[in-house]
Structure 1
Amino acid sequence: MTQLGADTIRALPKVLLHDHLDGGLRPETVCELAHAVGHELPHDEPAALADWFETAASSHSLVRYLETFTHTVAVMQTADALERVAREAVIDLAADGVVHAELRWAPEQHLRSGLTMAQAVGAVQTGIDDGVAHAAAQGHTIRAGQILTAMRQEDRWREVADLAIARAGDGVLGFDLAGPEDGFPPGRHDQVWRHLASHQVPVTIHAGEAAGVDSVAEALHTGQALRLGHGVRIADDITFPGHGAPRDTARLGPVAHWVRDQQIPLEVCPVSNTQTGAAESVANHPITRLKELDFAVTLNTDNRLMSRTSMTREMMLLNTEAGWTLDDLLDVTVAAAWSTFVHHDERRTLVEQVIVPGFQKIERALL
């Protein structure tokens, strides 16, 4: 296995399906926005604040992890702040080699200063468009869009769904459900899923992170999810072969079979999963075994601020700690490109004209 340097990995074209807008702020931006609105932070200095976010998020508790968003959401309550955060997110991702990004966030959490959800979505789209233009001026090509998230524990699912429908094709790519898995299943508002499907709005649902196989099954069969946010707990439905045993001796349960048979994309976030306790380490993360069993695995960042990560770092850790090769990284990138919430011809162009040539260029340079 050849270790790949940071510059080599950063130059690879990347596709990012699972990245939270309110989890990817620059520490400097959090400090500046907090000062402007009088929000008290655990630390006022960016480096110390970045350390605090990472430490709090690394508690092996999803509840503690989610508490860190109190501070980022608090400073994202105006149109100007939303525009800035979205613009900087796109610029940062493009600089990291991301060529397609789907940024998810919950508009219902950003209304404290009087914005409507529609106005908030408009502000984020302005920021995304500005970020794309700024990245282009710096020599980076990126396409980015929004995935609108409804919070499981709230009852605004239909409102968010209606907004996703209204803005479909106008910057919004799909709908997401996030928040506490236990006790707030997709069946709470099962009419929402039929409503979205009838308007051809694709759905991804956070499932199989803090809860197990039943959560995955309901996301698929009730929520009609086309992708699974995280989805790593599908491993609970698999008996993996022992060390050295052929991979075809793995025994899959009915839900695992369904996920693999239908090639439901798994939006896996290795570093985040180790922080919340969904995985012990990147070296032992289920992503490698799931990929070996031909599940549709994609690689993602989840929350770049809280996890102090990037797509380059996620790839580097898989290379150095889990033995992934350049071909492995290409596999998950192509899988992600084919799983984007854009039309088929756009996916094909992304794979054939951007991803594969980009990896081939790096491969030739390494020879």
Structure 2
Amino acid sequence: MTARTVTLIDVARAAGVSKSTASDALHGSGRVAEATRDRVREVADRLGYRPNSAARRLRRASTGAIGLYLPQTATRLEYYMNLAFGAVERAQEEGLDVVLLGSAAGAHGPLGSRVDGLLVVDPEIGDPAVPALLDAGVPVVTCERYPGPTATPTAAVVCDNAASLTALLDHVHERGAVAPALLAPEATSSWAQALRTAAETWSAERGVSVIVHTVPFAATPAEAAEHTRRLLADRPAVDAVICAPDGAAAGVLRAAAESGRTVGRDFQLASCVDGIAVRSCDPPLTAIDLRPAEYGRTCAALLCEVLAGRARPDTVRLHDWALVVRPSDRAPDRSSV
């Protein structure tokens, strides 16, 4: 049987001091009386305590900067720009700069020599940079979980994307939709996996089939329009579409009009991501407000707390969302059908 590793908490309890006092005594920092410092060190030696070098690195900022990695297919999207701005703002409040990392982030030497920690946003399976970033030797906070099989992040901030899609599906169904469809990316990210699983679960629980049509992760309005044309040609009974990619729903609106459908009258349309593009449509589209700037702030705040030793390395925090109802999902008029 393997003996349990002695922790700093064990030392603190045996010495009759707080964890922070024990840490200061062992590391020669803080205002600790010499007698207390000696007692803590004696207890640590007696118990066989060995400092965790990784934990010490989390507390020691050396470069004054953190790295930010965004999905390489999505850097042009409003959602990610707002999230990045929120992260930068929060990091600067802690006196840290933010370095935007590209796909070759580790090609110019160890990241630990350039940043103290990393924010990795919506990590995708198949992105070759992500495993290397997660194993870069510095604390990593992800915005959404990493669904890959290899290294895991230090901590994460997640949104209940399954609940948000369920709310959208309930909303359009309550307004008369009987044949809803979801335009969603392949299940290479935690976000896409959650949407697809939620659609399947909702279908089973409500007894209403959701047609799931695959589109690119960062589908443009033109791509969304083309996919919608195909969807409506193959499934003319579809009376509501929920579009997952940021800003792509404007293309769905155009394709629906070309097929003779009127959004807000005989056809419903909603977006999984709110933003200027969906608010500017005619009619404006119902959407999920993911509050991206606040999302970025929360991710940066968690990384700063991990670096300072104020948050456990395995912390997972939940970020909230809101359903924003607009005229694009009025109950279909079936009187003329």
TM-score under structure 1 normalisation? 0.27
Q: Which has the higher helix share?
A: 1
TM-score under structure 2 normalisation? 0.29
Indicate the structure (1 or 2) with the bigger Cα radius of gyration.
Answer: 2
